[in-house]
Structure 1
Amino acid sequence: MNLESPKINVDKSPQEVFDFLSDIKNFESLMPENISKFEVLSEDTFLFALKGMPEITLKKKELSSPNKIVLGAAGGKLDFSLTGNIVELNENSSEVQLEFSGDFNPMMAMMIKGPITKFIETLATSIPKSI
């Protein structure tokens, strides 16, 4: 299952956006209002939970400055990744798109498609306000 957020314009350079997303503490400011838990576990790992959903632990898997950040599931039964793609529009402007990729059975995919789509859209649209 592959899902994409809308492309979001940010009035910051790709390096500034990359640096912001590289610091996992900043993800707390991107989370939706229905977050019930956010905890930094290490320099590259954090845990969060949304109301009514299980806890999810994400870990930095790949950094390619200043254009790509990949977070992946750290443990748990589900294997998925969240990729932030950053494209330079000009010196002080970037375009960010989040991609969710996971291998789920059809029933699970059907159940989580809506909530995951809404979640990555919330993360993406929160980036310009949070940097």
Structure 2
Amino acid sequence: MNLESPNITVSKSSQEVFDFLADIKNFESLMPENISKFEVLEEDKFLFALKGMPEIILQKKEVIPPNKIILGAAGGKIDFSLVGNIKDIDASSSEVQLEFTGEFNPMMSMMIKGPIKKFIETLVTSIPKAV
């Protein structure tokens, strides 16, 4: 399953957005209102839970400054990745898009597609206010 957020324009350079997203503790400020838990486990790993959903652990897997940050599942039964793509528009603004990729059976895909799409849209639309 591949899902993409809308492209969001941020009034910051791609380097500023990259630096913000590279610091995983900043993801707490991007989370939806229904978050029930957020905890930094290590420098590159955090755990979060939304009400009614299991806890998810994300770990920074790869960084390509200042254009890409790849987070992936750290443990658990589900393997997926969340990629932040950052593009320069000009010296003081950039465009951000999040991509979610995971391998799920058809039944699981049907159940989680809507909530995950909403989740990545919430994350990306929170970036301009948080950076």
- Scaled to the shorter chain, the TM-score interval is over 0.9
Q: Runs of 4+ in structure 1 displaced over 2 angstroms?
A: none
For structure 1, which runs of at least 5 residues remain unmatched after alignment? Answer: none
Partner of 1:65: 65
1:6 aligns with 2:6: yes
Q: Distance in 2 between matches of 1:8 and 1:23?
A: 20
For structure 2, which runs of at least 5 residues remain unmatched after alignment? Answer: none
Corresponding pairs, count: 131
RMSD: 0.2
Q: Distance in 1 between matches of 2:84 and 2:78?
A: 19
* Equivalences for residues 1-131 of structure 1 within 5 A: 1-131=1-131
3-state DSSP class of the match of 1:52? Answer: coil
Q: Distance in 2 between matches of 1:26 and 1:68?
A: 16
Shift of residue 27 of structure 1? 0.1
Q: Distance in 2 between matches of 1:91 and 1:58?
A: 31
Percent identity for Structure 1 against Structure 2: 79
Structure-1-length-normalised TM-score: 1.00
**Residue deviations 1:20-69, cap 9 Å, x none?**
00000000000000000000000000000000000000000000000000
Structure-2-length-normalised TM-score: 1.00
